[in-house]
Structures are given as structure tokens and as C-alpha cells.
Amino acid sequence: MTALQSPFARKLGAFVTLSTLELSVLERLHSRRRTFVAGRDISHEGQTDQAAYILASGWVCSYKLLTNGSRQIVDFQIPGDFLGLRSVLLRTADHNIEPVTLIEASEVPVKDLMETFDATPRLGAAVLWAASRDEAMVVEHLVGLGRRDARERMAHFLLELSARLKLVGLATADGYACPLSQYLLADALGLSAVHVNRVLRELREMGLVTFQNGQVTFQDFDGLVALADFDTAYLDHEGPLMP
Amino acid sequence: MTALQSPFARKLGAFVTLSTLELSVLERLHSRRRTFVAGRDISHEGQTDQAAYILASGWVCSYKLLTNGSRQIVDFQIPGDFLGLRSVLLRTADHNIEPVTLIEASEVPVKDLMETFDATPRLGAAVLWAASRDEAMVVEHLVGLGRRDARERMAHFLLELSARLKLVGLATADGYACPLSQYLLADALGLSAVHVNRVLRELREMGLVTFQNGQVTFQDFDGLVALADFDTAYLDHEGPLMP
DNA sequence: CGGGCAATTGACTCTCATCAAACTGCGTGG
DNA sequence: CCACGCAGTTTGATGAGAGTCAATTGCCCG
């Protein structure tokens, strides 16, 4: 896979034009390709000396555990997303990272990351910008947990994933393949798995979306947008401020 | 106020040693001092060309509104905190910023910010590190909204504020002055104001904390920590990776 | 064929929102 | 100096949304 085709380049390319040099630097970042099996954590809260990764294929989740045994998934990462950038900046991982499926990811050692920032500041800015965009997503999740009911939360979540997946060519207007179990959805949306099931049934019976056999299919996209009060503004920022 | 005494320098100084040059650059960042009255927003979602601010005194909240009229406060900022960094990086504000009290803040134009990154990379790294720490806090809030009940949330919130305020000398082991109304607490914790009141009463009757007349007083700090499952790890990261 | 995991459904419970109504402290203006 | 209004706090009563417990179904895979 060349950098031009990599989901990461594709995502950045949707917002800025990258020079040949920058594309080749991107390609070099993809040299340390690794695979990880589903379910075994890549990184644990409290670990130091973390590497960052760029996800090439498969899905990942970032989560935190509470001592009472429950867990909260902070976000899912899809191809083209950066993993563990904050953990690198803070020197210690502040959350756990678990592959949801078999994944391929390119390890980016701190040194390479710093050198990239130095050698191609435009790429550095792009990475920072992507990180800010991810943070905006986390904020939106927080708003959902605080002020949306279960139906709205689910609708919003499915729509956000749709927008993100479209950017890397993994979704169409009709829907997308989604490898998440109802337990994972529950941990992400702050609900119980049982309630997730009921909410999905409701949305299906309302004729809005179906989520069955790992496939999300929109029946009434606009209706879903209306229900979720979904506004893509937080995803559709202008590209990074390029030096 | 010299940079040495500013809450921002004080906060950074708790994690790294700053050179005289760096302190003087910091001081220059504080030149455009402005004041804002409580209740009138400094910045609105969707606005472009945002400036960033360093908060010198007073309290601020960042929030988002939903079309159904409810609002979710994402975080409060206290003296020493940066405001609107993400809005600058994304070129568009993705949330609103409202002073809770009369505040003093130093405006930091994008240009100055970039120049600082360029001229004193260590300060740039420090700012980035502080931003990552703030993001870790947002993540912790998200976990609270998703997986903690009202009592735990309130306890955790009061403890986090305590830790943050201590860092800039605004709290003692006994407690701190807190200008937040129960409505603000409600919007931050994803609760109704009525329920906030009941929860505060409960915590008081359990002999853990009191929050009355704008003063938070700990009666049983350890008991509160236990109830909240509070772990300062997400606040106590090592200092920034200094180039 | 049996084990195991995810999805599904029903019955019951509990936390928290909502509505309503006092009550407080406080600044303003008559 | 007091009446008034207002914003914030406090308390009670009721109901809805979501959790928990439990049982069943469907399906994949050894």
C-alpha cells in the first residue's frame, strides 16, 4: 500500500493538499507495519514509553476501567486514525487500547514523530489538527452522555461513524459494515447491553436504521439526523493551519 | 503581576524548570490583559478567527448547547488555564466560552502563539503538554458521565477541582472557595439542579464535604476519595518532553 | 452434537428528571 | 427603611428512562 492509498493520507488529503515530499515522509511513517489480534490490549493505562500508531485496517477502542468493574469506551478508532498520541505527549498512557478486530497498524516511535514535526512542519501541523479534531469528537461524546437520551445517543453515534467512515471510503450513503457488538456499544454509550438492544429495535421499528449482522443500513437518513440533532460542524473543520 | 507570579507560570513551574528567557517570553504573552464580565460569552460556537487566552483570575466554563435547549458544560477553567487553544487549531470555535465570574485574561493572538512555538520550542512543548493534560481531564469527565452515579460524579468533581486549585495556590487541604451555582454544577455533571442539591445534602449528611456559601470544605477527604474512586494519575503526569 | 457467545425479550426495580412550591439572601428603588 | 423582585437554594410528590435479573433463542465452531 502506498502512502497515497493509506487511509491516513486519504483523510489528511480530504482537507489539505500534500506535496510529493510530504507524501513520501508519510510513507516512511508507515514502514513499521504490525498486526494485532482482537481482544488483546495494545497498551495499558499507566504504562510509560508508549509508541504511537497509525491505524491502517481494522477497528480499535480506547477505554478506561473503573474499580467497580464497569468500563467506559472513550472512542473507537477506524482506519486512518492516530492511536496514542496523547499518551506519548504525557509520557504515560492514560487509557487502554484494545483492538476490536484484527488490525494492522504502523508503529511511530516518538523519535520519528519528533523528526517529522521538525522536518516537515506542515505534516506536524496536520497531525496536531487531526488530534484537535479527535478531541472535538470526544467533547461531542461527552455532550451526548450528559444530555442526550439513549435513542439520541445511539442515532448520533451511528451517524458520526458514518461520516468518519465515508472520509476513508469505508461507508456509502446507504450504510457501512460495523464490527461492534452490543456490549461494545453499551460501554461506549454509557448504557447496558440490554438497553442497547432495545434502542436498536426501536430505531428499526421507527424505520430509521437497522443494525444487524454487522451491517448498519440507513432507512431514513434525514429522520435519523433530526432525531439525533446531528450537526457535522464538529467534524467538518477547515484543514490545518499550514505553515 | 510578573510572569513568575502568574498562575500559568506557576502551573508550568510545578512540572518543569523554566529558564529566565522562557519566563520573560511568558511574561510577554501576558501583555494584552483584558477583563470580561460574568455571564457574557467570550466566544461562540462556529465563530472563526478565534484568539486564545490565558486565564489570570476568575472562573470560566466551556459548554455546548443542544437544540432541545439543554446545555452541557465540558469543563471549567481556573486561573492558569489556557482557553480556546483547540478553537485556534481548528480555526473555528467548537464550543462556547462563558465567564462564570468577572475574569482577567491575557489574549494570545495566533501569530504570537506560533512565534512562541518557533522561538522557544520548550514553551511550545509545555503548552502542548498542558493541552494534553486538559484533554485527559475531559476524558475523565466523559467516564464520569458514562459510568458514575450522581454521588460519585459530584465527589469526583469536587476532588478534581481541589487538586487543580491547589496547583495554583487557590485551595488548601481543607477546601476552597468555589463560585459555581448549583445550576452550573448540574450542567457540568449532566444532572438536574434539583438533584445536585439533593446530592450535596447527602454528601454533607454523610460527613464527607460541605458546599455552602461558595465554600467547599472537606470533612472526610479520604472517605470522599474512596466514594469517588478518585485517582489523581490523570492529573499527575510527568512534565512535558522538553526538546 | 454440545459449548459458548451474542442477541433478544419479559418482569421488576431504582435512579434521577420533572413539576410545584417555599424559602433564602440581596440589591434596588420608592 | 421597607417593599419588591430576583436568583439561587431547598424540599416534596410523581413519573419516566434505564439498569438488573433471568430465561430463551440463534448461530458459529470444534
Nearest neighbour of B132 by CB, restricted to A90, A148, A190? A90
Residue pair A66/A39 in contact (Cβ under 8 Å)? The answer is no
Cβ of B238 within 8 Å of Cβ of A91? The answer is: yes
Contacts of A211 (CB under 8 A, 6+ apart): A158, A178, A200, A203, A204, A217
Which of B44, B49, B142 is best to mutate for the A interface (most A CBs within 10 A)? B142
CA A197 / C1′ D23 distance in Å: 16
Residue B237 has a pLDDT of: 84
Residue B28 has a pLDDT of: 87
Nucleotides of C under 7 A from a protein CB: 6-11, 15-20
Q: What is the mean pLDDT of residues B58-77?
A: 96
Q: What percent of chain A has pLDDT over 70?
A: 98
Cβ of B145 within 8 Å of Cβ of A148? The answer is: no
Task: Give the span between the Cα atoms of B12 and B122, in whole angstroms.
Answer: 11
* Strand ordering across the sheet containing A71-77: A71-77, A60-65, A96-99
Q: What percent of chain A has pLDDT over 90?
A: 73
What's this model's pTM, rounded to 2 decimal places? 0.95
Q: How confident is the model at residue A185 (pLDDT cuts 50, 70, 90)?
A: very high
Q: What digits encode the pLDDT tens for the residues B143-155?
A: 999 999 999 999 9
Q: How confident is the model at residue A3 (pLDDT cuts 50, 70, 90)?
A: very low
Q: What is the mean pLDDT of residues A21-50?
A: 91
Residue with cell 467547599: B216
Q: Residue type at A48?
A: T
Nearest neighbour of B229 by CB, restricted to A67, A86, A141? A67
CA A16 / C1′ C28 distance in Å: 57
Q: How confident is the model at residue B27 (pLDDT cuts 50, 70, 90)?
A: confident
Cα A88 to Cα A49, A111, A234, B127, B184, distances in angstroms: 7, 11, 25, 15, 33
Q: What digits encode the pLDDT tens for the residues A58-73?
A: 999 999 999 999 999 9
Q: How confident is the model at residue A38 (pLDDT cuts 50, 70, 90)?
A: very high
Cβ of B74 within 8 Å of Cβ of A139? The answer is: yes
Give the number of beta-carbon pairs within 8 Å between A and B: 121
Q: How confident is the model at residue B3 (pLDDT cuts 50, 70, 90)?
A: very low
Cα A75 to Cα A61, A118, B115, distances in angstroms: 6, 29, 33
CA A226 / C1′ D5 distance in Å: 40
Task: Please name each of the domains of chain A with its CATH number.
Answer: 7-134 (2.60.120.10), 136-235 (1.10.10.10)
Task: Give the span between the Cα atoms of B153 and B145, in whole angstroms.
Answer: 7
* Number of neighbouring beta carbons within 10 Å of residue B181: 13
What distance in Å separates residue A228's CA from the closest CA in chain B?
Answer: 10
